[in-house]
Structure formats: structure tokens, C-alpha cells
Amino acid sequence: MTPVILLLWLVAALLFTAGLAVAIRRSALARRVVYGFSIATCGFAIAVALVHLLASPAITSTAVLPLGLPWIGANFRLDALSAFFVLVINLGGTAASLYGLGYGRHESEPRRVLPFFPAFLAGMNLVLLADDAFTFLLSWEFMSLASWALVMTRHRDDDNRRAGYVYLVMASVGTFALLLAFGLLAGPEGGYAFKTIRAHGASSGLTGLVLALALLGTGSKAGLVPLHVWLPLAHPAAPSHVSALMSGVMTKVAVYGFIRIVFDLLGPPAWWWGVPVLVAGAGTAALGVLYALMQNDIKRVLAYSTIENIGLIFVGLGLALAFGGNGMKAAAALAMTAALFHVLNHALFKSLLFFGAGAVLTATGERRMEMLGGLLNRMPATGLLFLVGAAAISALPPLNGFASEWLMLQAILLSPDLPQWALKLLVPVVGALLALAAALAAACFVRAFGITFLGRPRSEAATNAHEVDRLSIAAMAILALLCLFTGVFPALIIDALAPVVDALTGTRMPVQTHIAWLSIVPVAESRSSYNGLLVFLFITISASLAAFVIHRVASNRVRRAPAWDCGFPDSSPATQYTADSFAQPVRRVFGGFAFRATERVDMPAPGDGRPARMTVTLHDLAWELVYDPVVRLVNFLAERLNHLQFLTIRRYLSLVFGALVLLLLIIASWP
Amino acid sequence: MIDMSLIDGLSIQISQMLLVLVSAPLLTGLVRRVKARLLRRQGPPLLQPYRDLIRLVRKEAVIAESASWLFRIVPYIVFAATWVAAALVPTFATGLLFSWSADLIVIIALLGSARFFLALAGMDVGTSFGGIGSSREAMIATLAEPALIMIVFTIALVAGSTQLSTVANAMLAGVGLRVSLGMALIALIIVAIAENGRIPVDNPATHLELTMVHEAMVLEYSGRHLALIELASSIKLLLYASLIACIFVPWGLAPAGAPLHVHLIGVAVYAAKLGVAGILLALFETMIAKMRVFRVPDLLGAALMLGFLGTLLRFVSRSL
């Protein structure tokens, strides 16, 4: 059996599981069956993808099923690129299923989650395997609808209904753009099979349009600014393990779609393709993390941080296009490796963080950070694992987020050799925005972890929180260990990515695993090198050494006492810094131009008994500048067209006649 | 032969690690002493920081009741990350055995890790002072870190490497006077002042001032934990001085494989550089007043812009 057939059987098994979830009446049993089957199928899919990627990446395995468009059938194909993404998606899927096994116990409406969860996984896998436009779009829509159903789990909540509506509209816009993109790629003969498209490519005049449509279609699913507005509404609305899948995994399917269309189907890249991708990516990275810093809902913080990370990935892809268009294959391979590495990393730590947020939600029933605090003492395991995820996403060495960002910065350092002036001026700006985004991300996660897990509990719920079940912790622990592993041994990942990168950019990064001590050397040793393992060992050894020496030679006595706080400790937890007050300095620095933030302080005169008030106003410019005008235009047009409903029959007939004459004129004048 | 160079490299690496550890409090003591003399005070003796550290280490650690386990391990993480970072910056010799395991970007990220955990520790006890320090530190870092990365870009594009030993060798070989390097130097000095919490950004000598940053974060620490954090901040000051010396005045650095007396000269030259850096810092701090905390972004924004312009110049001048 070829790998692609095997994977299709696994997809069928997932769909069957979805059916079982409907059939089984007892929800406790249904939960075990659904998540148990999902773990098994996703784990099997990981094995298939891993074997394919490591053993025979150059071989593509294809299959045609007698479904879909009658004259081409439903085409499926597994190559190195889709194998890598199958790996990432099912890694997230396995972890989410394991987590769901424990977390799902607290689900108030399991019947609204269980059937759609495996269907969602099946849809994502199908997108990766699709090898013609029809199957691709069908799977894409299936994935969107399954995830929409999951977003609407708690549909009685007004906010969730709005989130679902916005998601549905944005998903339709995205699919529509992709439909047009594939239409242009297929050309007048209608060769919708990817094989046919690959053979003739897009006609040269249309590449710009296809690129724009691909960016629009996949970018709206991935969350590129300003197409991101649905994401922070929809991702947090779903149950936490589904949020993890949507944020950590489904956005990666969108990245896959972009890579498939632009790097594979569209033909050899031109340098200017990189420009819109770089601009969109860098803007998304910086704005996404700024938004994240302003949020008070922990799941929203994570959703906005997903937007930032998608921006980083698109910067890597944009650099790969810019290098590739100039024939700088080695540099393109480096940028592509950085982007794909970050795809894997983000899937790992974002799933971990959403699981952590879900654990907090289970323990306290609270998503607002202002109501939490002090959870590290009450939920030590969750706290530690969340901390690992926070450190990884903040790009701290030796964890995995740092390894991919380091590669990205090395790629930027190669770009002064780009010949075009537009790129020469653009790339330094992109580099600065990338550095800014990394620093802001660290601040964002100091805030998210610090307010939620540290300090004193700010509410009754946080005081009485208890650690969550073992399965949830196991799911988080696996992901945390993977974060550490991929960070400490980046050379292994880079080499595993080599066939994918080779297929996309025409070359690969130098072989890394033969370098002494498993260092990574992207270009040449004299230029730059990094060794995650040694950095990890150095830090561990020197910290243990310091602890050992101090405890042996000097003092190891500890006394517990009330907090010092400069002599004026206040027993009320309300005197602590809150999420809002923590973000206030950053808001004052960056909020002015990013959100047109204003602060108004109403301080009553001495003797006046009124409480003082501070009001902060933030404007979401994406809504105000992009969506509100569109909404106004649509409403205006609808208002005008509304009159057509109330005409006399005479007017209707003359309208019909006019339309007929117009159409005849068009046909008559057609060349 | 290979064994010999390995042993050489290892011995240089270990002596450098010990050197930064031992000489860091001395630099702090020197700055305090010179500042006191400039103000016509007697000032503490040069070795006072060592005495403080020893006394702190011997005392019991008083830990707030609301503190978590994180509070107790952060000092060790902060110390380790800072020490490892400092051990990878060439001070008196370029032939460090492990210099290839981390480049300039990693060194900056290690300092970033130290700051990340220290900011968390500031929030751990749940007091208003800790929060104020952490949030301000986060604000300063969001500007200082990108500025540092832009400075690294400028330097890396001049020297063709982010590897510090290679950079130092390239600078020794002579790259000429360049505008972009000048910008990078000014930006790096601004960032160094901000990152070490010196005047005008923060005042290391106060504990009760509304604008304080670093001292507010570590307010709840005592005993051995405080000693480690104090030592780490001394090492950080030394690190920045070494970094500026290594990149912009690399003369006197012993090349790899040089005989012993060249290394000894290297140590002497390094000591002289540190002395000059300490005196200049004390002079600067005496001449200038502390800034309002919300003026700090302007200063750091200037550093970011200088670093950015330097990078842009390198990008643009490549084709001229």
C-alpha cells in the first residue's frame, strides 16, 4: 500500500470516528472512543509522514479516486512538502486528542464537540493530500466548516455567535479568492489537476494577480493583518484543545496552501514576489504582538500572538522568494528552512500554551487575567509547562523558538547582496520590525505568565484552583519536551527539512548533523554558528554549580516572612499590578500610532468624595480603516437596491427588457 | 598539536570565566569610588562590593509568604545566563574554546533570558513595587533589544560575521573609519547605559524613588539570592564594557595560539580598558541628571534609529 493510500485510509478512519461520535449515546464512552481513535490515527499518520520524510522524500506517491470532477477524478499526492505538514498537523492532532481525553470531561456540551473534532482533523489532512484544485477547495471548505461548528460550540453566548458569523464571512472571502486563483492557474483549458498546472505554470501576465489572490485567500485563513479580525474572535471561542488546533495547526494548513500555490504551482519566482509577502509578514508580526499586549483575556493574548508568529513565517517565505527570484539559492534555502522550522515550533508551543490556558479555565472558570494570579503555587505542573511554552515563544535560548528566529536573522544578514533597491531598502525595515516583534513578544509573555500564574490570587476562583488531570498534563509535558528537544538539537530538524527545502528552492542548507557537537552553521563557520546543546549545558552547569557552592560553603537557611514592599505591604491583592497596568508603559510608547490610544484621567478636586477614574480608549484600526468602510458600502448599496423590491409590474418588465437588450448588445459586440 | 590547541583554548576559556567572575565586582567598586571622589566624598573602598557579597551570601534568605518556587530559582538562572554570556565575549584573548557555540545574537538572547526571568521574579511576590519594576523593565527592553539587534546587524555587515572573535579580528585587521560604525558605537553606549540601569535611565544607588526600575524588581530579594542578582548585574556591566572594548577597541587582544606573555599583556590591556570605561561611566553619571521614566523611550528610540540607519547604510553602500 502506498503512503498516500494509507493516509487516505486514516482520513476515512477519522471520518468514521466522527460518525461513531454521533452514534454512541453515552457521552463518556463517546469521548473515550473519539479521542482514543484520534490519538491512534494521528499517531499512525505521524509515523507514515516521518518514514516518508526520512526514508524516501524524493518519491511522490499519488492516487486517483473516482470522485470529484468527472474528467479528472479526485487526485491525491504525498510529496516531501505535504509529508512535513502532515507531520506537523498530526503532531498537534495527537497532542490535542490526548489533552481532550482529560479536558473533555469538563465539557458542558460534548455532543457539539465530539463529532466535529475528528472531522476537523480529517479535513486538514485532506487539504494537505489534495492534488487538484477541486479536491483542494472542497477539503478546504470542509475544514473551515468543521472548525466553524467547533467555534459555535457555546452558541448561546452572543460573543461566540458573532465570532462564528465573522469567521464564516472571512472564510468565504478567503475561499472565493482561492477559487479565483485556481481558476487563473488552470487557464482557459480548465486543467485543474495540480500536475497540469505545474506543467504549464501561470501565464506571465497573471502571476501578480494569482500571487495577490493566494495571499488574500491563504492569508485570511492564516491571519495576516488586516485579514486577521476573525481570528482573535474565533480561536478563543472554541474549547481549548480546539483553540490549540485552530491556532497551532489550522493556520499551518493555510501556510501550506500559500507555499503550494506560490512555490510549487506558480512556477519559478520573480524577485518582486517577495515584496508584498515581506510587507504583509513584517507588518503582521509587529502589529499582532502589539495587539496581544493590549488584551486581558488569556486566550485572546494567545490568538493575537499566533498572528505575530504567522507574520514571522511569512517574512521567512518572503525572503525565500526574494532570494529565489535572484538565483541566490543557498540564501533562499536558509530562509525557507527558517520559515518551515518556525511552522513546526509554533505548532508545538502554541498548542502547549492553549492547553495551559485551557487548564487554567478548567481550574478557575476564568479567562480574564485580571481575575487570576498566584496559580503557580496551586497548579505547579501546569505553571511550569506554561512557563516553558512562554519562554519558547519569547525566543529564549536554548528553546526552539530561538533556533528558528536565529536562522531568520541569519537569512536577513545575507540580504545586502540582493541587487534590487526596493529590497535593499525594505529588508532592513523588515529586520527592525522582526527584532521589535521578538522583544515585544517577550514582554507579552512576561505579562501573560506573570499576571496569571504569579503574585497573589485576585479572585475567589483563583484562590481555590486545583491542578488539572494527569492526561492534560501529559499532553502539555510531551509538547514541552519537544520544545526543548527541537531547541537543543536544531541540526536534526534542519537536516530533516532538507528534502522539503530542496524541492521548493532548488537546493538545501549544508548538512548539519556531521558538524562537531551538533552545532548549526547556516553559511560558514567563520560567519555564524550556534549550538543549542552547549548553551543548554552551560546554563544548567553554571546554575547548579552556583547553587551547590553557595549551599555548601555559605548559607542555605530560609525564613518565610510577610512581603517587604518597602515597609508598606498591603494585604489587598488589588494593590498588585494588573494586566492593564503592566501594559501601560508599552501602550504609552507604541499605542499612540498603533491604536490611537488615549488616556483620560478624571481626578476629583481635594475634598471631593468621588472616586478617581482613568479611561483608556484604544482604536482597532483594522476595523475602522478596512472593515467599517466595506460594511458601510455594502449597507449603502443594499439600501439603494432595496427600492427594486417595490416597483410596479410595468417597471419590472421594462427592466427585464433593458437587461435583455444589454446582454444582446454585449453578445453582438463580442469579438 | 590539536590536543595542545584544545588545551590552550580550554585554559583560556576557563581563565576568562574566572576573570569575569572575579573582576566584575571590582569594576562596580571602581565606578562607585570614582563617583564618590568626584562628589568630594571619601567613598567606599574598592573592595566593598566583595565584602557586601560575602556578607549577603552568609545571611539567611528571607522569602515572602506569597512567593512561589520560581522566586527561589530565578537568581540562579539569571546568574548563570549572564555569566555564560559574559564568558563568550572575548576579553583578553580571541581564542576562546567555545566561542563558536554562540554568536553575538545568542549573547544578546541570553541577556534577554536573564531579564525575562528577573521580570517574572519581580511579579512573583505580588507587590506593587515589583510590578512597577517589571513593567518598566519590559518597556525598556522592547526598545533596547531591537536597538541591539540593529547594532549587531551593522557590525555583522561590516565584519562579515556575527561571531565575536571573527568580528574582533576583522576590526583588528582594519575596516577603516565608517559612519555606520560610529552610529553603532553611540547606539551601543546608549543601550548599555539603559540595560545596566545607570543614570540617566535608572539610578543604581537608590531604593526609594518612583522612577526606579531594576531595584524595584529585586526589592523582595535578600541573602544569597540578592547576592547572586547583584553579582549578575556587576557581570552584566562588565560584559557591556568588554563588548564595546572587543568590537571598537580590539587592540591588545591576544590572538589564538599566541604565547603566554602575549596573553598576560592582553590581561593587562583589558584591565586598563575596564579602568578607562569605569572612569568614563562615573564621569558621565556625575555630569548628568536622572531622566523622567517616559523620556527614556525617546533616548532608546534614538539608539534604535541610529542602529537602523547604520544597518541601512550597510545595505545601501554594498552596491555603491
Q: What's the rounded Cα separation, in Å, for the pair B157 and A410?
A: 11
Provide, as residue numbers in chain A, all residues whose Cβ is less than 8 Å from the Cβ of B123. 446, 450-451, 454-455, 577, 582
Q: Residue B121: name the closest of B139, B133, B107, B108 by CA.
A: B133
Q: With beta carbons less than 8 A apart as the criterion, state whether A294 and A307 touch.
A: no
Q: Kindly give the confidence (pLDDT) of every residue in chain B, 320 residues in length, as a single tens digit, with 9 standing for 90 and above.
A: 456 677 888 888 899 999 999 999 999 999 999 999 999 999 999 999 999 999 999 999 999 999 999 999 999 999 999 999 999 999 998 878 888 888 999 999 999 999 999 999 999 999 988 999 999 999 999 999 999 999 999 999 999 899 998 899 888 887 777 889 999 999 999 999 999 989 888 888 776 666 678 888 999 999 999 999 999 999 999 999 999 999 999 988 888 878 889 999 999 999 999 999 999 999 999 999 888 888 999 999 999 999 999 999 998 886 55
Domain total of chain B: 1
Contacts of A182 (CB under 8 A, 6+ apart): A133, A136, A137, A192
Q: With beta carbons less than 8 A apart as the criterion, state whether A225 and A176 touch.
A: no
Which of B66, B98, B132 is facing A374, going by the closest CB pair? B66
Q: What's the rounded Cα separation, in Å, for the pair A445 and A352?
A: 14
A543 pLDDT more than 70: yes
More confident residue, B95 or A353: A353
Which of A293, A382, A421, A446 to probe by mutation at the B interface, max B CB count within 10 Å? A446
Whether B135 sits inside 8 A of A425 (CB atoms) is no
pLDDT band of residue A280 (cuts 50, 70, 90) is: very high
DSSP B253: P
Q: List the domain range (segments joined by +) for residue B239.
A: 2-317
Percent of chain A beyond pLDDT 90? Answer: 77
Contacts of B68 (CB under 8 A, 6+ apart): A374, A376, A377, A383, A453, A454, B124
Encode pLDDT of A627-662 as tens digits.
999 999 999 999 999 888 888 899 999 999 999 999
Q: What is the pLDDT of residue A58?
A: 84
Contacts of B229 (CB under 8 A, 6+ apart): B75, B78, B79, B118, B218, B221
Which of A376, A546, A560 is facing B76, going by the closest CB pair? A546
Q: What is the pLDDT of residue B207?
A: 66
ipTM above 0.90, yes or no: yes
Q: With beta carbons less than 8 A apart as the criterion, state whether A373 and A458 touch.
A: yes
Whether B102 sits inside 8 A of A409 (CB atoms) is no
Whether A576 sits inside 8 A of B126 (CB atoms) is yes
CB contact B256 to A (< 8 Å): no
Q: With beta carbons less than 8 A apart as the criterion, state whether A222 and A177 touch.
A: no
CB contact B223 to A (< 8 Å): yes
Whether B219 sits inside 8 A of A564 (CB atoms) is yes
Which of B70, B109, B115 is facing A397, going by the closest CB pair? B109
Whether B150 sits inside 8 A of A435 (CB atoms) is yes
Lowest mean pLDDT among A9-13, A231-235, A397-401, A515-519: A515-519
Q: What's the rounded Cα separation, in Å, for the pair B214 and A640?
A: 62
Provide, as residue numbers in chain B, all residues whose Cβ is less than 8 Å from the Cβ of A385. none
DSSP A116: H
Q: How far is A88 from chain B (nearest CA, A)?
A: 27
CB contact B114 to A (< 8 Å): no
Run of H or E residues at A519 = none
3 state SS for A404-465: HHHHHHHHHHCHHHCCCHHHHHHHHHHHHHHHHHHHHHHHHHHHHHHHHHCCCCCCHHHHCC
CB contact B138 to A (< 8 Å): yes
Provide, as residue numbers in chain B, all residues whose Cβ is less than 8 Å from the Cβ of A439. 112, 141-146
pLDDT band of residue A592 (cuts 50, 70, 90) is: confident
Which of A419, A443, A530 is facing B106, going by the closest CB pair? A530
More confident residue, A363 or A571: A363
Provide, as residue numbers in chain B, all residues whose Cβ is less than 8 Å from the Cβ of A445. 116
Q: With beta carbons less than 8 A apart as the criterion, state whether B283 and B198 touch.
A: no
Whether A530 sits inside 8 A of B103 (CB atoms) is yes
Provide, as residue numbers in chain A, all residues whose Cβ is less than 8 Å from the Cβ of B297. 588-589
Compute CA B219 distance to the chain's CA centroid, rounded to the nearest angstrom.
21
Lowest mean pLDDT among A48-57, A554-563, B90-99, B213-222: B90-99
Report, in angstroms and rounded to the nearest whole number, the Rg of chain A calculated over CA atoms.
Answer: 26
Encode pLDDT of A111-136 as tens digits.
899 999 999 999 999 999 999 999 99
A49 pLDDT more than 90: yes
Q: What's the rounded Cα separation, in Å, for the pair A348 and A482?
A: 7
DSSP A572: -
Encode pLDDT of A289-337 as tens digits.
999 999 999 999 999 999 999 999 999 999 999 999 999 999 999 999 9
Computed over every residue of chain A, the mean pLDDT equals 93
Q: What's the rounded Cα separation, in Å, for the pair B34 and B29?
A: 9
Q: What's the rounded Cα separation, in Å, for the pair A403 and A530?
A: 8
CB contact B315 to A (< 8 Å): yes
Whether A542 sits inside 8 A of B84 (CB atoms) is yes
Could you write out the DSSP letters of every residue in B164-219?
A: HHHHHHHHHH-----HHHHHHHHHHHHHHHHHTT-TTT--TT-SS-TT--HHHHTT
CB contact B74 to A (< 8 Å): no
Q: Residue B213: name the closest of B108, B294, B289, B314 by CA.
A: B294
Whether A416 sits inside 8 A of B315 (CB atoms) is yes
Q: How far is B131 from chain A (nearest CA, A)?
A: 5
Which of A535, A558, A563 is facing B101, going by the closest CB pair? A535
Q: With beta carbons less than 8 A apart as the criterion, state whether A260 and A81 touch.
A: yes
Q: What is the mean pLDDT of residues A568-585?
A: 89
DSSP strand pairing (A598-602 vs A61-65): unpaired
Q: What is the pLDDT of residue A267?
A: 85
CB contact B109 to A (< 8 Å): yes
Whether B68 sits inside 8 A of A410 (CB atoms) is no
Which of A399, A452, A528 to probe by mutation at the B interface, max B CB count within 10 Å? A528
Q: How far is A127 from chain B (nearest CA, A)?
A: 37
Q: What is the pLDDT of residue B32?
A: 94
Q: What is the pLDDT of residue A109?
A: 85
Structure-block grid coordinates of residue A488: 537543543
3 state SS for A576-605: CCCHHHHHHHHHHHHHHHHCCCEEEEECCC
Q: With beta carbons less than 8 A apart as the criterion, state whether A548 and A503 touch.
A: no
Q: With beta carbons less than 8 A apart as the criterion, state whether A35 and A113 touch.
A: no
Q: What's the rounded Cα separation, in Å, for the pair A369 and A578?
A: 8
Structure-block grid coordinates of residue B319: 552596491
Q: Residue A621: name the closest of A294, A370, A316, A311 by CA.
A: A294
Q: What's the rounded Cα separation, in Å, for the pair B7 and B14?
A: 10
Q: Which residue of B has its CA nearest to A586?
A: B139
C-alpha torsion A300→A305→A310→A314, nearest 10: 140
Q: How far is B166 from chain A (nearest CA, A)?
A: 7
Q: With beta carbons less than 8 A apart as the criterion, state whether A181 and A217 touch.
A: yes
Q: What is the pLDDT of residue A296?
A: 93
